[in-house]
Amino acid sequence: MRFDNVLAVDPIDGEFVGSVETEENVITGIRRIPGKREFERILMPGFVDLHTHGSVGVDTLSMNGEALKKWENFLYAQGVTYFLPTTMSSTPSVILSAARVVRDYIKNKTLTSVGGIHYEGPYLSLKRKGAQNPELIRSIDLKEIEETLIESVKLITMAPELEGFSQAQELVQKRGITLSLGHTDATYEDMERAYNHGCHRITHFPNGMNTLHHRELGCVGAVLSLPFSVEMIMDGIHSLPGFVKLIFGIKGPKKIMIVTDTIDATAMPDGEYELGGQKIILKNGRPTLEDGTIAAAVLVFSGAVRNFREFAGCSLKELAMVSSLNSLNSIGIKDRGRISEGYRADLVLLDENLGVRETILNGKTVFQS
Ligand code: FE
């Protein structure tokens, strides 16, 4: 494939006008045209969403392979070339069966953007449950963790203040699975201990955690003072635009990862839905529990990317970090997320308003508008 007249955006080398060539599934040729300013399309690394519970009526905990295909196709139209279906707190058998659906799906496809599964819970803080079902949140059970960590599990969100966390952290990390801290009521010290033992990642910051106080730094204080990378939901509801700008100023472009946290009601009409065994009401684009608690999100990835650019006032180079490279690096993937020779051709072609026009996965077009 060859992309001429593009503004190519690499998260390390920056932006240039010119052409990009791919052969088979790899970027093979980069040609910069010095001094040229006009271009037809923007070419960025494909988007990466490591925290999404569902879309278009599909939910991670209840989907089969066919439903996952429908979801994957929907995400191609959003420019997403890698994602992790994400569970909610549930029973070990339900969680495990979702992980098996994902495992078998990946095994049977030669071309897929499904990278594995993210377990959000069930070892979380009851006090900071958000929209997690309190009946299914539980204490750390090492044997259960051992049994549910099958090969498709790439990421797991846990609360570091729970009893047995240190052993759980060791177990998870030994398996090569990335740990993320979230839905937590931890102290600064709990957070710092987890950081020092190799967990450098935060789930949907600062939702589902205690906040900053000048005499008790807590979770938010720990996240801001230690070099954690943070997932952020970019719907302008979970965090106000001004807060996103503030965090961008503090953490910088290398430590923020856009996630959607979308649920099955995404791209669906207003009405009643279900999330992790609880009723969700979608009204005017806002999903809540019956008591009004905000429950996940329905803003698609391409919209989240546009919002981040507006909220943070960042460059396209910085946008390529937060929408792709940082997330990939957070789970140890190094062969994509850049527009540079030798990298895997997972790309998204955008118009000047960042509308998705074409999505390329592993060197093949999977969406075109
Ligand atoms: Fe959550």
CA–CA separation, 340 and 65 (whole Å): 33
Give yes or no for a contact between 340 and 21, defined as CB atoms under 8 angstroms apart.
no
**Lowest model confidence (mean pLDDT) among 96-105, 126-135, 205-214, 286-295:** 286-295
Residue corresponding to tokens 């450098």? 200
Q: How far is the CA of 221 from the centre of ligand 1 (A)?
A: 19
Q: How far is the CA of 176 from the centre of ligand 1 (A)?
A: 22
- Angle made by CA atoms 334, 340, 346, in degrees to the nearest 5: 65
CATH, domain range 1-46+336-369 = 2.30.40.10
Would you kindly state where each structural domain of the chain is located, as residue ranges? 1-46+336-369, 48-335
User: Domain 48-335 falls in which CATH fold?
Assistant: TIM Barrel (3.20.20)
**Tokens 């969100």 identify what position?**
157
pLDDT at residue 285, rounded to an integer: 83
Q: Kindly tell me if the per-residue pLDDT of 20 is higher than 90.
A: yes
pTM over 0.95: yes
Q: How far is CA 165 from the centre of its chain?
A: 23
Interval 81-95: pLDDT, tens:
999 999 999 999 999
| pLDDT for residue 56 is more than 90 | yes
Catalytic site includes residue 291:
no
| Ligand 1 centroid – CA 120 distance (Å) | 7
Give me the catalytic one of 59, 190, 235, 261: 261
Nearest to 253 by CA among 12, 8, 7, 9: 12
- What average pLDDT does the segment 27-46 reach? 96
Please tell me the distance from the alpha carbon of residue 334 to that of residue 321, in angstroms, as a whole number: 13
Ligand 1 centroid to Cα of residue 131, in Å, is 7
Mean local confidence (pLDDT), 99-116: 98
State the distance from the centre of ligand 1 to the C-alpha of 25, rounded, in angstroms.
34
* Residue 40 CA, ligand 1 centroid: distance in Å: 39
